[in-house]
Every structure is written in structure tokens, then in C-alpha cells.
Structure 1
Amino acid sequence: MTLLIDIRQPEWMREAILRDTLAPHLPDVELLCGISEKRDDVVMAAVVDLYPDVIELAPNLKLVQKLGAGVDGILHGTGLPEHIRVTRLVTDLPATEIAEYCLAHVLQFQRNLHTHRADEAAKNWNPLPPKLTSETTVGVLGLGVIGGLTAKKFASLGYKVVGWSKSQKQFEGLDCRFGDEALDGVLKAADYLVCILPSTDATRDFINSQRLALMKPNAVIINAGRGDLIVDQDLIAALDSGAIAHAVLDVFRQEPLPGEHPFWEHPKITVTPHVSGWHQGDALLDVAKNYMRLVAGEPLLNEVDRKAGY
């Protein structure tokens, strides 16, 4: 039986690098880098996104392993048959990187660095007081591994943190809210709204014009979750009208973001190319573990509930 490695993102990782990482742990297994012809022996595929040709060329596929956390690029629009199982990687390393990414952008606004850079270019001496951490509220939407770590990171630095999730979650010392009725209060309170929700039927188009209208006019949205959480045109309209102040976006409905997309040139939008969480560390070895568990008929690590979407 064969394990297919099909990444197709050489700027992140080449297939051969993962093959060489897994090979010592799967010495008797063929590790196939990419697929171009029908292979009946492929039972598992390690992917970032699932492409239709993989399903066509690997008719005996039993498991798709996501090389990361979000599985929308596997579950949505791929035609994945219901009998094929899906697993993902769960590790604190990219979660820590995403928390650092969000903190880095919050600090830029807290310390007025955007304004200072513009003043520097204009040779304008313009002292501005930084915002007080203790008087700043960070709302975190999504309290899974990544969101929970992000919320705790901000709280440890003295920010007021209000976390929200679909179902009840508890973290010591954090104000954790859940359910639809609690969401409006989080939106109204947040000076920074950090979005780390997965892409599901319940979260698609989650941040729309109605919810944006509830936010403070000085609020900043940071989306490091999934690109389809926010309605693009509603976000642009909210920024243009002054309903919110700025948006920092690391994820998009289409990636790479097309050159003609209005996000690129909008003065109140910061675009980064999906870099908030990069490294997977030792979690990549879970690919080998799941292959062995699949073959042995044992429970898989971090199996996705396909109906829930995560």
C-alpha cells in the first residue's frame, strides 16, 4: 500500500521534503510524491488542499490527511466521497505563530506605528500617546486550540479578553461566552476582533454588514481563520463608511488573492499572504502515525467530524 504526498505549494514545502521526513518512520511503505496516473495502491493522501484528480487517480483512497488544521479545502467543493475519512494536524507551534501574528498587528495599532511611519516619510514630528493595554479589549472568535492559545496570550499581557465559541468552552481567568445570543456583546466590546473560526456552513459569511454595524468605529478586525468568514463587500463598505477602522487579513476566499481584488489597494486593509501559521514541527510525524493506524485498523489521530466541518 502507498502513501501519496500531494502538496502543490513549493513556497511552503516540497513533496520530497515531507517524503524524506516520513521515510525513516515508514521504511516499508512507498511514499509517492504527486500523482499523474491511476494508482490502485494509494490508500492515504497527505495534502494541503484536495484536488479532484487525486480522487480520480486513487480509487481506493481511504484517508485524506490535512497538513495543517483547516479542512475546508478538502471538504468543500472537492466531491470527496462520504466513505473517505479526514484527519488534520493539531499542534501548538502554528497556533503560537498565529497568536504572535495577531499580537504583532495589535501592537502596531496600540503604539500608533502606522501613523508614525507615515509621519516619518513626511518628516512630521507628531508625538502620539500609545493606547493603554489595560483599557483595551480583544475579542477572540473561535476557542479551539489556536483561538484558546491566542486568547490566553493576550490575557497574559494584560489585555481584557472576551472569547466566543459556538459551544461552551472554559479557560481559567478568561471571559468565555458561547452561542448566538452572546455574540453581539463580544462584537460591541471589542477594540480588536480576532477571527479564528473554521470554515463551516455555520461560519461562512459570518462577519456581515449586520454584525459589522455592531462594532466600534475604532475597531480593528484581524482574520487569521478562513477567508470565507467575512463578506468581502460588506467589509469594504464598513471601512469606507467608517463603521470600523481597519482590517488585517491573512486568509481569503481565493488564494493567491487575485491582483484585481480591491483589498490590495484599500488604504484601511492590510493584506498578508496566508503566513500567520507556518511551521508544523513534529506534528508532521502524525502523518506516519495515522498511516500505521489506518493499516492496523486503530483509531486515527485528530479525525475530523465531516458533518461539523472540523
Structure 2
Amino acid sequence: MALLIETGMSDWISDSDIARDIQRLHPGADIRTPDTLGNPDDITMLAVVGLKDENLRRLPNLKLVQKLGAGVETIVSNPNLPDHVRIARLKPDAPAQGIAEWFVAYVLRHQRHMAFHEAAQSRAEWAPKAPIYSPDTVVGVLGLGHIGARSAKMLRAVGFQVMGWSRSPKQIEGVTCLHGDAALPELLDQCDHVCAILPSTPQTVGMFDARILAAMKPGSQLLNAGRGDLIDETALIAALNNGTPGHAVLDVTSTEPLPSESPLWTHPGVTITPHVSGWHLGEALADVGENFQRLTAAEPLLHEVDRARGY
């Protein structure tokens, strides 16, 4: 039994670096990369960012696909993935911390008028503008799982009023939690910033359409660090032109990399970051090695995905 690491993303972290880190934690494990693949029949676990059909064809004894991250929708929906192959995701602390910091950074950038002052500096203009008072500011967090709850708590610690929304009831100290489809427009109407960290499911794809965008508070800011298919980008541009919302900060887009011809690049109401909010895996690689050990020993996996639910 062997574990194959194949991210296909050398601009993020190399396969050999991941393999080395896991090998350090599990010295006896058989861990391979595409450069050290050997006999494909040996591979029982595959750790990937995105699942390629080529891997399904060449790995006949595959039992587990480990996603190196949280979003598993493209793996779950792959029609060529045999029913017996299990899926696991990561729930690491490091990217949760990073994504929460990303939300705080861009909310504070708006609150402190940083773009305004940077533009004034470029004109050598002394132009005081009062910051927006944080205790009077309402920030909404959509999705209250591992990452969303971490984000809500961090935003609350900064001093914002924080509201949260999820499909099922949740409780977070100091956060006003709403749930269910009917409650979403109520939250959007009150929030000066809306931070989305929702998974991609049939219920969330395209959820931010023209109707939902129109429910947002005029002049508010929409921040998305979850899945790019949450937002109808054509509807978003039209909504931004109407000032509802007033600005969007997108770390994820429906197509990545974002095509150069996309109007999102040049729209004055849009800030783009290239899927960098949750960069570091941190201690999560330990879970990858642990799942390989558990798979080998026929023990319950960490963070196994319910393929019927999609997460």
C-alpha cells in the first residue's frame, strides 16, 4: 500500500516537499510522487488538489482520495470515481486562521479608507477622512463551519457586531446566528460587510444571483473566500453598477485563473486576490499521513466526506 502525492501546483507547494513533511511524521510510510511513482498498482491513497481522470484510469487499486484542502465538490461530482473509493478533506487550523485574517484585512481596509489615502498620497494630497467606527459596523459571516466560526470570532474580537448565517442552527458566543433560506435576506439587509465561506453544493451554486445581491445593504462590501461558483458574476457586475453591493473582494472566481478578458479585472468596484487567503497547510499534513495509516489499518478516517451530501 502506497500514498501518491500529486498536486499539480508547483507555484504553491511541491509534491516532494509535501512527501518529505509527511515522511518525517511517518518514517515507515511508502510515500511517492509522480517522479517516484513506481508500480501504479501499489497506490491505494491519492492526495490531490484536483482529481484527474487519468489518475482514476492508471490507479486500479485506489481506495481513498485525500483532498489537500476543504472544497471537494469537483471530486464528489466526478462521474468516473468508483463508488468504493472514499474521499477525505482537511480541516486544518492554519488555512482557517489565514482566511479569517484575509476577511479582517479587507474589512479593515474599507473601514480605514486605505485605498482613498493611498490615492491621496499619489497626488501628494493631505486629505483626512474619518475612519468608520467599528462598533457601529455589522459584519455577516455566511457559513459557520470550522473556517466560518473562526472568522466570526476574530471579527468579533476586533470589535465589530457580527452576524452569522448557516443552513442549520449554530451557536457562537457573541455572534447573532441565523439559519435557513428565509433568514438570509434579513441578514444581508443589516450587514455592512458580508464574508462568504460557503461550500459548493447544489444549494449554493449561483446563490448570489440578482435577487440575493439586491437584498444586500446599499454600499456594503461582499467578500468571498469560499467557492467561486457561489456568485453569478454577470449579476454581480450589474449589482455593483447599481451600488448594491458597493464593492466586492474576491479570492475565488468561477474560473481560475480568472481569464484576462474578464470584466472583473478592471471593474472599479472589484478587488481580486488570486486564491491566496488560506495559503498554508500547517499541521494539516499530519492528518494526511494519519489517514494513510488509518486506511492501511482499516480504521475510521479523519474528515471523511459524505458523498451523498457533497461535503
Fold match (TM-score > 0.5): yes
* Alpha-carbon contact 1:38-1:56 (below 8 Å) kept: no
Aligned to 1:244: 245
Quote how far apart the aligned CAs of 1:72 are.
2.1
Distance in structure 2 (CA, Å) of the matches to 1:49 and 1:78: 14
Residue 31 (structure 1) aligns with = 31
What runs of 5+ residues in structure 2 fail to find an aligned partner? none
AA in 1 matched with 2:179: F
1:204 counterpart letter in structure 2: V
Q: Are positions 1:279 and 2:277 aligned together?
A: no
Structure 2 match to 1:297: 298
Alpha-carbon offset, residue 38 of structure 1: 7.2
Q: 1:135 Cα deviation (Å)? A: 0.7
Task: Give the letter aligned to residue 153 of structure 1.
Answer: M
**Whole-Å Cα distance in 1 between the matches of residues 81 and 237 of structure 2?**
34
Q: d(CA) in 2 for partners of 1:219 and 1:82?
A: 44
Deviation (angstroms), 1:123: 2.8
CA distance in 2, matches of 1:147, 1:180: 18
Superposed counterparts of 1:86-105, under 5 Å: 86-105=87-106
2:112 and 2:131 map into 1 onto residues whose CA distance is: 5
Q: What value does the CA root-mean-square deviation take over the aligned residues?
A: 1.5
8 Å CA contact 2:93–2:284 kept in 1: the answer is no
**How far, CA to CA, are the matches of 1:43 and 1:185 in structure 2?**
47
Q: Provide the aligned length of Structure 1 versus Structure 2.
A: 310
Q: Deviations over 1:202-229 (max 9, x none)?
A: 1111111001101112100000000000
TM-score, normalising length: structure 2:
0.96
Q: Which residue of 1 aligns with 2:170?
A: 169
CA-CA distance at 1:159 after TM superposition: 0.6
Matched residues in 2 for 1:54 and 1:37: separation?
Answer: 14
1:26 CA drift (Å): 3.7
Q: Which residue of 1 aligns with 2:14?
A: 14
Aligned letter for 2:72? V
Shift of residue 82 of structure 1? 2.2
- Matched to 1:281, the amino acid is G
Percent of pairs identical after alignment?
Answer: 47
TM-score normalised to the size of structure 1?
A: 0.96
Measured against aligned partners, the alpha-carbon deviations of 1:41-75 in whole angstroms (never above 9, x if no partner) come to 21100111111111111121110111111112322
Is the 1:7–1:14 Cα contact (8 Å) retained in structure 2? yes
Measure, in 2, the Cα distance between the counterparts of 1:73 and 1:33.
22
Q: Within 2, Cα distance between the matches of 1:40 and 1:30?
A: 13
